[in-house]
Amino acid sequence: MTMLMTMERKEWQRRLGEIVHGRIAFDEPLAAYTTLRVGGPADAIVFPESIEEIRGVVRMTRAQSLPLLVLGGGSDVVVRDGGFRGVVLRMGRNFAGSRVIAGDRIEARAGESFPSLLRTARTGSLAGLEFLATVPGCVGGGVATNVGAYGQWFADVLVSYTLLDRDARETNVPRDQMEFGYRYARLPEGSVITGAVFQLTMKPRDEIEETVRNYAQSRRDSQPLRASSAGCIFKNPDNAKQAGYLIDKAGLKGMAVGGAAISEQHGNFLINRGGATANDVLTLLAEVRKIVKKRYDVELEPEVRILGEDE
């Protein structure tokens, strides 16, 4: 690192400290903030507690030409071992909260976890989010990926969401302007989701609780919920069997590279058995894709985002 680069780094670190009143971490491994528990250090991780702090970080990183990564619950993410050169905007418990409004709607901040969001819905006897039972993640990431399960999706219940664009201007996106697909939402480049509103349905609480229990039990029976994983690792391909079925049929359950392995319980879950590196994970991903392509002529596409730099 040159003297100029060192001076520039010290300057933007100082500016971050002026913008964010909460915690800021420098050169801290991102493994602690991902459900797969892999990932090298980020130049900076900030934990904003207000819209104004987020707006300040967006403006500062753009002015300094610094890469900005928004990270919520850390699921569906693989961070390479070299970490992330830039600023990570951590949108977790530091920017969480949800409440019932207008009787049958819930307003939530981007860092609100799925378990907490579902708890708010259950307490208010509001149905429509039961499919989130045992799913890791936060509202912002759920909007960005159109999270779904059991044939239900965020897009089915979203009324609106708010974001800051790359110029830090706040925009409310109503339902008729949303564009969603399978594990996809069309968002402006460089934008940061800050919150969302959900339209739900009043229903007896005991019926909601029963549905939640059934979904949770189904996942416990079929998925390695206690293991460190990123959730489903591949998207289900179009016009083909599900990814987990193809991986299972190819005999790849239990296949391992270092500390990374394909779950014995569910073929589309890659788990960290302990001590896995991102390189272990990516090597195993590539090998699984190669074998499935060779045997079934199906190109598996990762569902996880692969971020950062190699060592």
pLDDT digit string, tens, across residues 275-302: 999 999 999 999 999 999 999 999 999 9
Name which CATH class applies to 96-207: alpha beta
Across 115-255, where does the E strand assignment appear?
126-127, 148-149, 152-153, 158-164, 170-174, 180-181, 184-185, 192-199, 201-202, 228-232
pLDDT digit string, tens, across residues 92-144: 999 999 999 988 999 999 999 999 999 999 999 999 999 999 888 999 999 99
Contacts of the segment 90-98: beta carbons below 8 A, 24+ positions apart: 90/33, 90/45, 90/46, 90/47, 90/48, 91/48, 91/138, 91/140, 91/192, 92/33, 92/47, 92/138, 94/22, 94/23, 94/47, 94/48, 94/49, 95/47, 95/48, 95/49, 95/54, 95/194, 96/138, 98/139
| Average of per-residue pLDDT across 238-254 | 91
Catalytic residue among 37, 80, 138, 232: 232
Contact 223, 217 (CB under 8 A): no
Please report the pLDDT score of residue 3 as a whole number. Answer: 37
State the CATH architecture for 224-307. Answer: Alpha-Beta Complex (3.90)
Catalytic residue among 107, 112, 130, 303: 303
Amino acid letter for position 178: M
Write out the two tokens for 85: 């050169």
Catalytic residue among 59, 183, 205, 289: 183
Q: Is the pLDDT of residue 10 over 90?
A: no
Higher per-residue pLDDT: 194 or 21: 194
Q: Quote the CA–CA distance of 253 and 243 in Å, as a whole number.
A: 12
Look up 207 and say whether it is catalytic. Answer: no
- Which residue in the block uniquely carries the two structure tokens 């296949």? 255
Confidence of residue 180 (pLDDT cuts 50, 70, 90): confident
**Mean pLDDT over each residue of the chain, to the nearest integer:** 92
| Average of per-residue pLDDT across 43-71 | 94
Contact 148, 236 (CB under 8 A): no
Give the CATH number of domain 3-93: 3.30.43.10
Please report the pLDDT score of residue 231 as a whole number. Answer: 85
pLDDT digit string, tens, across residues 296-309: 999 999 999 999 99
**Residues contacting residue 135 through CB under 8 Å, at least 6 positions apart:** 114, 147, 149, 231
Please report the pLDDT score of residue 190 as a whole number. Answer: 87
Pairing mode, strands 77-79 and 305-307: parallel
State what percent of residues in the chain have pLDDT above 90: 77
| Average of per-residue pLDDT across 17-35 | 93
Look up 138 and say whether it is catalytic. Answer: no
| Average of per-residue pLDDT across 58-77 | 92
Q: Of 53-57, 58-62, 124-128, 175-179, where does mean pLDDT reach its minimum?
A: 175-179
Contact 100, 56 (CB under 8 A): no
Sequence spans of domains, the chain = 3-93, 96-207, 224-307
pTM over 0.85: yes
- Which residue in the block uniquely carries the two structure tokens 């190699």? 310
Please report the pLDDT score of residue 111 as a whole number. Answer: 96
Please report the pLDDT score of residue 12 as a whole number. Answer: 86
Look up 80 and say whether it is catalytic. Answer: no
Q: 3-class SS at 196?
A: strand
Confidence of residue 6 (pLDDT cuts 50, 70, 90): low
Confidence of residue 4 (pLDDT cuts 50, 70, 90): very low
